[in-house]
Chain A
Amino acid sequence: MYKFIFDSDALIKLAKCGILEQICQNYKCIITTEVSNECIDEGKKRLYEDALKIEELINKKVLKILDLKISKQIKENLGKGGISTANLYFQEKNSIIVTDDSAFIKYLEEMDINFIIPADIVLLMKNSNKIDKKTALDYLERVKYFIREEVYNDVKKDIMED
Protein backbone atom coordinates (compact mmCIF):
# COMPACT_ATOMS: atom_id res chain seq x y z
CA MET A 1 0.00 0.00 0.00
CA TYR A 2 1.18 3.51 -0.83
CA LYS A 3 1.99 5.96 1.92
CA PHE A 4 0.40 9.37 1.56
CA ILE A 5 2.73 12.25 2.39
CA PHE A 6 0.72 15.41 2.99
CA ASP A 7 1.97 18.93 2.54
CA SER A 8 0.51 21.61 4.83
CA ASP A 9 -1.89 23.02 2.24
CA ALA A 10 -3.59 19.68 1.58
CA LEU A 11 -3.58 18.65 5.25
CA ILE A 12 -5.29 21.87 6.37
CA LYS A 13 -7.83 21.80 3.53
CA LEU A 14 -8.81 18.19 4.28
CA ALA A 15 -9.01 18.92 8.01
CA LYS A 16 -11.27 21.91 7.34
CA CYS A 17 -13.52 19.72 5.18
CA GLY A 18 -13.80 17.21 8.01
CA ILE A 19 -12.60 14.24 5.95
CA LEU A 20 -8.97 13.98 7.05
CA GLU A 21 -9.70 11.48 9.82
CA GLN A 22 -11.52 9.15 7.40
CA ILE A 23 -8.50 9.28 5.06
CA CYS A 24 -6.02 8.66 7.88
CA GLN A 25 -8.01 5.66 9.07
CA ASN A 26 -7.95 4.09 5.61
CA TYR A 27 -4.42 4.83 4.39
CA LYS A 28 -0.93 5.15 5.81
CA CYS A 29 -0.58 8.90 6.25
CA ILE A 30 2.65 10.67 7.13
CA ILE A 31 3.94 14.22 7.46
CA THR A 32 7.25 15.88 8.26
CA THR A 33 8.09 17.83 11.41
CA GLU A 34 8.08 21.03 9.32
CA VAL A 35 4.53 20.34 8.12
CA SER A 36 3.50 19.59 11.69
CA ASN A 37 4.95 22.96 12.76
CA GLU A 38 3.10 24.80 9.99
CA CYS A 39 -0.23 23.05 10.62
CA ILE A 40 -0.29 22.42 14.35
CA ASP A 41 2.07 24.85 16.11
CA GLU A 42 1.40 27.88 13.91
CA GLY A 43 -2.33 27.10 13.77
CA LYS A 44 -2.64 26.76 17.55
CA LYS A 45 -0.73 30.02 18.08
CA ARG A 46 -3.36 31.76 15.96
CA LEU A 47 -6.30 29.85 17.50
CA TYR A 48 -7.33 27.92 14.38
CA GLU A 49 -9.37 24.96 15.60
CA ASP A 50 -8.37 22.76 12.65
CA ALA A 51 -4.89 22.68 14.18
CA LEU A 52 -6.38 20.81 17.12
CA LYS A 53 -8.13 18.36 14.79
CA ILE A 54 -4.80 17.57 13.14
CA GLU A 55 -3.06 17.23 16.50
CA GLU A 56 -5.75 14.79 17.60
CA LEU A 57 -4.92 12.54 14.63
CA ILE A 58 -1.25 12.60 15.64
CA ASN A 59 -2.25 11.65 19.20
CA LYS A 60 -4.44 8.83 17.84
CA LYS A 61 -1.39 7.69 15.83
CA VAL A 62 -3.33 7.54 12.56
CA LEU A 63 -1.21 10.40 11.22
CA LYS A 64 2.50 9.98 11.82
CA ILE A 65 5.35 12.45 11.89
CA LEU A 66 8.55 11.09 10.36
CA ASP A 67 12.04 12.52 10.81
CA LEU A 68 14.03 13.38 7.73
CA LYS A 69 17.34 11.67 7.16
CA ILE A 70 18.12 13.80 4.16
CA SER A 71 17.52 17.50 3.82
CA LYS A 72 18.44 19.40 0.70
CA GLN A 73 17.34 22.81 -0.49
CA ILE A 74 15.12 22.24 -3.50
CA LYS A 75 13.61 25.39 -4.94
CA GLU A 76 13.45 28.98 -3.83
CA ASN A 77 9.73 29.36 -4.43
CA LEU A 78 8.82 26.56 -2.00
CA GLY A 79 8.39 26.90 1.76
CA LYS A 80 9.99 24.76 4.46
CA GLY A 81 7.00 22.38 4.61
CA GLY A 82 7.01 21.77 0.84
CA ILE A 83 10.77 21.20 0.73
CA SER A 84 10.61 18.74 3.62
CA THR A 85 7.67 16.93 2.00
CA ALA A 86 9.66 16.42 -1.21
CA ASN A 87 12.66 15.22 0.83
CA LEU A 88 10.44 12.73 2.68
CA TYR A 89 9.22 11.42 -0.67
CA PHE A 90 12.83 10.69 -1.67
CA GLN A 91 13.35 8.91 1.64
CA GLU A 92 10.16 6.81 1.78
CA LYS A 93 9.57 4.05 -0.74
CA ASN A 94 6.07 3.51 -2.18
CA SER A 95 4.91 6.96 -1.29
CA ILE A 96 2.87 9.62 -3.02
CA ILE A 97 2.54 13.30 -2.21
CA VAL A 98 -0.86 14.77 -1.46
CA THR A 99 -0.94 18.45 -2.38
CA ASP A 100 -3.16 21.08 -3.93
CA ASP A 101 -0.42 23.70 -4.20
CA SER A 102 0.06 24.67 -7.84
CA ALA A 103 3.68 25.86 -7.46
CA PHE A 104 4.63 22.69 -5.58
CA ILE A 105 2.89 20.53 -8.20
CA LYS A 106 4.95 22.25 -10.93
CA TYR A 107 8.10 21.13 -9.14
CA LEU A 108 6.74 17.58 -8.68
CA GLU A 109 5.92 17.40 -12.38
CA GLU A 110 9.45 18.57 -13.30
CA MET A 111 10.87 15.84 -11.07
CA ASP A 112 8.38 13.21 -12.27
CA ILE A 113 7.16 12.65 -8.71
CA ASN A 114 3.75 11.06 -8.15
CA PHE A 115 1.18 13.30 -6.57
CA ILE A 116 -2.53 13.33 -5.90
CA ILE A 117 -4.78 16.31 -5.25
CA PRO A 118 -7.23 16.28 -2.30
CA ALA A 119 -10.34 15.99 -4.51
CA ASP A 120 -8.94 12.84 -6.11
CA ILE A 121 -8.54 11.15 -2.72
CA VAL A 122 -12.32 11.21 -2.52
CA LEU A 123 -12.49 9.49 -5.91
CA LEU A 124 -9.80 7.00 -4.85
CA MET A 125 -11.71 6.10 -1.68
CA LYS A 126 -14.83 5.55 -3.70
CA ASN A 127 -12.99 3.45 -6.33
CA SER A 128 -11.42 1.37 -3.55
CA ASN A 129 -14.90 0.78 -2.03
CA LYS A 130 -13.92 2.53 1.18
CA ILE A 131 -16.87 4.87 0.78
CA ASP A 132 -20.01 4.66 -1.35
CA LYS A 133 -21.00 7.01 -4.16
CA LYS A 134 -23.31 9.08 -1.96
CA THR A 135 -20.60 9.64 0.65
CA ALA A 136 -18.07 10.46 -2.10
CA LEU A 137 -20.39 13.14 -3.48
CA ASP A 138 -20.93 14.51 0.04
CA TYR A 139 -17.15 14.69 0.60
CA LEU A 140 -16.63 16.33 -2.78
CA GLU A 141 -19.17 19.00 -1.85
CA ARG A 142 -17.08 19.79 1.21
CA VAL A 143 -13.85 19.97 -0.84
CA LYS A 144 -15.61 22.11 -3.49
CA TYR A 145 -15.03 25.19 -1.40
CA PHE A 146 -11.25 24.94 -1.99
CA ILE A 147 -10.93 23.65 -5.54
CA ARG A 148 -11.37 25.21 -8.96
CA GLU A 149 -14.82 24.80 -10.44
CA GLU A 150 -13.63 22.92 -13.55
CA VAL A 151 -11.79 20.39 -11.37
CA TYR A 152 -14.86 19.98 -9.15
CA ASN A 153 -17.08 19.36 -12.18
CA ASP A 154 -14.74 16.76 -13.67
CA VAL A 155 -14.20 14.87 -10.40
CA LYS A 156 -17.95 14.86 -9.85
CA LYS A 157 -18.43 13.40 -13.34
CA ASP A 158 -15.88 10.68 -12.53
CA ILE A 159 -17.59 9.81 -9.26
CA MET A 160 -20.95 9.57 -11.01
CA GLU A 161 -19.62 7.51 -13.93
CA ASP A 162 -17.45 4.92 -12.18
Chain B
Amino acid sequence: MTVVYPLKLKDEIMPLIELKSKEERTNKAIVLKQFLYKGLENYVIDLVNRGRLSVGKAAEILDLSIYDIHEIAKSKGLKLSATKEQWQKSKEFIHKYPS
Protein backbone atom coordinates (compact mmCIF):
# COMPACT_ATOMS: atom_id res chain seq x y z
CA MET B 1 0.00 0.00 0.00
CA THR B 2 1.27 3.51 -0.74
CA VAL B 3 0.30 6.85 0.83
CA VAL B 4 0.40 10.36 -0.59
CA TYR B 5 1.95 12.80 1.88
CA PRO B 6 2.34 16.56 1.34
CA LEU B 7 5.86 17.81 1.94
CA LYS B 8 7.40 21.32 2.09
CA LEU B 9 10.99 21.56 0.86
CA LYS B 10 13.43 24.47 0.94
CA ASP B 11 13.98 26.18 -2.43
CA GLU B 12 17.74 25.80 -2.02
CA ILE B 13 17.75 22.03 -2.32
CA MET B 14 15.78 21.94 -5.57
CA PRO B 15 18.75 22.68 -7.88
CA LEU B 16 20.49 19.63 -6.40
CA ILE B 17 17.42 17.49 -6.92
CA GLU B 18 17.24 18.72 -10.52
CA LEU B 19 20.95 18.04 -11.03
CA LYS B 20 20.66 14.47 -9.78
CA SER B 21 17.53 13.85 -11.82
CA LYS B 22 19.32 15.03 -14.99
CA GLU B 23 22.45 13.01 -14.23
CA GLU B 24 20.46 9.88 -13.58
CA ARG B 25 17.88 10.52 -16.32
CA THR B 26 14.98 10.21 -13.93
CA ASN B 27 12.30 12.50 -12.54
CA LYS B 28 12.57 14.68 -9.44
CA ALA B 29 9.99 12.70 -7.47
CA ILE B 30 12.10 9.56 -7.85
CA VAL B 31 15.24 11.44 -6.72
CA LEU B 32 13.39 12.67 -3.63
CA LYS B 33 12.15 9.15 -2.95
CA GLN B 34 15.72 7.79 -3.25
CA PHE B 35 16.93 10.32 -0.66
CA LEU B 36 14.03 9.44 1.62
CA TYR B 37 14.75 5.70 1.36
CA LYS B 38 18.46 6.22 1.99
CA GLY B 39 17.62 8.09 5.20
CA LEU B 40 15.08 5.43 6.15
CA GLU B 41 17.65 2.70 5.53
CA ASN B 42 20.16 4.39 7.85
CA TYR B 43 17.52 4.84 10.54
CA VAL B 44 16.28 1.24 10.31
CA ILE B 45 19.81 -0.21 10.47
CA ASP B 46 20.52 1.97 13.50
CA LEU B 47 17.36 0.61 15.20
CA VAL B 48 18.51 -2.96 14.50
CA ASN B 49 21.97 -2.15 15.83
CA ARG B 50 20.41 -0.86 19.06
CA GLY B 51 18.23 -3.97 19.41
CA ARG B 52 14.95 -2.11 18.87
CA LEU B 53 14.05 -3.77 15.59
CA SER B 54 14.80 -7.31 14.42
CA VAL B 55 16.82 -8.00 11.28
CA GLY B 56 13.80 -9.72 9.72
CA LYS B 57 11.50 -6.79 10.39
CA ALA B 58 14.10 -4.40 8.95
CA ALA B 59 14.20 -6.49 5.77
CA GLU B 60 10.39 -6.40 5.55
CA ILE B 61 10.22 -2.61 6.04
CA LEU B 62 12.93 -1.88 3.48
CA ASP B 63 11.67 -4.56 1.06
CA LEU B 64 15.09 -6.22 1.14
CA SER B 65 16.37 -9.68 2.08
CA ILE B 66 18.15 -10.52 5.32
CA TYR B 67 21.29 -11.07 3.22
CA ASP B 68 20.96 -7.45 2.01
CA ILE B 69 20.62 -6.19 5.59
CA HIS B 70 23.84 -8.04 6.50
CA GLU B 71 25.57 -6.47 3.48
CA ILE B 72 24.41 -2.96 4.42
CA ALA B 73 25.61 -3.45 8.01
CA LYS B 74 28.97 -4.69 6.69
CA SER B 75 29.32 -1.61 4.47
CA LYS B 76 28.72 0.58 7.53
CA GLY B 77 31.18 -1.41 9.65
CA LEU B 78 28.38 -2.55 11.98
CA LYS B 79 27.98 -5.96 13.56
CA LEU B 80 24.30 -6.65 14.08
CA SER B 81 24.59 -9.25 16.81
CA ALA B 82 23.94 -10.15 20.43
CA THR B 83 25.40 -7.90 23.12
CA LYS B 84 27.81 -9.14 25.77
CA GLU B 85 24.98 -9.18 28.33
CA GLN B 86 22.84 -11.30 26.02
CA TRP B 87 25.78 -13.62 25.42
CA GLN B 88 25.98 -14.21 29.19
CA LYS B 89 22.44 -15.64 29.09
CA SER B 90 23.34 -17.86 26.14
CA LYS B 91 26.36 -19.09 28.05
CA GLU B 92 24.16 -20.14 30.98
CA PHE B 93 22.49 -22.65 28.69
CA ILE B 94 25.85 -24.06 27.56
CA HIS B 95 26.62 -24.97 31.15
CA LYS B 96 23.22 -26.66 31.57
CA TYR B 97 23.36 -28.56 28.28
CA PRO B 98 24.07 -32.27 28.76
CA SER B 99 27.24 -33.00 26.79
Dominant SS at the B interface?
Answer: helix
> Does chain B have a CB within 8 A of A46?
yes
How far apart sit A115 and B91, CA to CA, in the bound complex (Å)?
9
Given contacts A102-B86, A105-B86, A151-B87, contact A79 B65 (CB under 8 A): no
* Partner-B contacts on A (CB < 8 A): 2, 7-9, 12-13, 16, 38-39, 42-43, 45-46, 48, 50-51, 77-82, 96, 99-106, 109, 114-117, 119-120, 123-124, 127-129, 146-148, 150-151, 154-155, 158
Name A149's closest neighbour in chain B (CB-CB).
B79
* Chain A residues within 8 Å of B81, by CB: 100, 102, 117, 146-148, 151
Given contacts A43-B67, A77-B54, A100-B82, contact A38 B59 (CB under 8 A): yes
Given contacts A151-B82, A154-B84, contact A114 B93 (CB under 8 A): yes
How far apart sit A99 and B63, CA to CA, in the bound complex (Å)?
22
> Does chain A have a CB within 8 A of B55?
yes
Name A99's closest neighbour in chain B (CB-CB).
B82
Given contacts A101-B80, A103-B48, A116-B93, contact A9 B87 (CB under 8 A): no
In the complex, the answer to whether B83 meets A148 with C-beta atoms within 8 Å is yes
